[in-house]
Amino acid sequence: MRATTKLFAIFGDPVTHSISPLMHNYALKGLGIDACYTRYRLREGALLRQKFFELKLQGVNVTVPHKEAAYKACDEIRGIAQKIGAINTIHLEKGKMIGYNTDAPGFLKSAKRFGEINRVCILGAGGTARALAVAFAEHGTAVSLLNRSSGRLDFFKEQGLQTYTWDMWPGGSFDLVVNTTSAGLLDDTLPAPREILEPLLRESSYAIDVIYNTHTPFIALAEKLGVPVKDGSEMLLFQGVYALELFLEKRYSEARLLPWMQKAFTR
């Protein structure tokens, strides 16, 4: 690697499963840019800042479980990430770590491809739910949160959003139901009891599971009920497009970047 070669990475734990290095390296190669994107297993979030500078990185993406730690590690936070309190993209600018959240606009872009979303029901209350809820609320979408426990719902209540635990769920119809829980990632569980999910999906227009590359029980149920559904691949692609634009300090058309990044899903 030449001295001028830019180096980017993804930090997470675990991180071996991530296809971000493939996505970004295909795009960097396609663009003819002298840069490389690697992965780094970061066990302790508290070491994020030190590792970023030690590895001489120009930018990183951050995945589970370090998105909140990344928020704290940055010198400056820009855009919607300030409200979300979690970031997935850091770019080095004049020696400073600048943090962004590209998960939120990435998801919105994917959701809007279904159609207009005026009412959304988000299953789960973790970091991804926060990003999606803040992004939807900023666009004037009515947001309801449904989580198995109450502990993490306070953040959403403070934003003035409707929050429910399973036992309090009143039912309702939505344009979109999103699974942001990890139910179905490594097991065969649904993100909420079937008695809640079946009527919820029947009454709703579209469904998305943010988990990607896995045919989850949530996706299977939506398909069985005839609800148009997609997984988190598109969200991953779009957050990657936005992150790469920040890394390279340049806007590209999606039509240019997506075909290269999509190659990561077809290997």
The residues carrying an active-site annotation are: 67
Task: Give the residue carrying structure tokens 């809820």.
Answer: 133
With binding defined as CB under 6 A, does residue 114 bind ligand NDP?
no
Report long-range pairs for 158-163 (Cβ below 8 Å, ≥24 apart): 159/133, 159/134, 161/133, 161/137, 163/125
CA 69 to chain centre: 16
Which residues are within 8 A (CB) of 50 and not within 5 positions of it... i.e. 6 or more apart?
none
Q: Which of residues 39-68 bind ligand NDP (CB under 6 A)?
A: 64
Q: Of residues 4, 149, 253, 266, which one binds ligand NDP by CB under 6 A?
A: 149
**Identity of the residue, 6 or 69, whose beta carbon is nearer to ligand NDP in the bound complex:** 69
Report how far residue 34's alpha carbon sits from residue 88's, in angstroms, rounded to the nearest whole number: 23
With binding defined as CB under 6 A, does residue 210 bind ligand NDP?
yes
Shortest reach from residue 34's CB to ligand NDP, in Å: 27
Shortest reach from residue 178's CB to ligand NDP, in Å: 10
How far is CA 91 from each of CA 34, 88, 232, rounded to the nearest angstrom?
Answer: 17, 10, 24
Q: How many residues bind ligand NDP (CB under 6 A)?
A: 27
Q: Of residues 12, 21, 105, 232, which one binds ligand NDP by CB under 6 A?
A: 232
With binding defined as CB under 6 A, does residue 119 bind ligand NDP?
no
For ligand NDP, the binding residues (CB under 6 A) are: 64, 103, 124-129, 147-149, 151-152, 180-183, 185, 189, 191, 210-212, 232, 235-236, 239
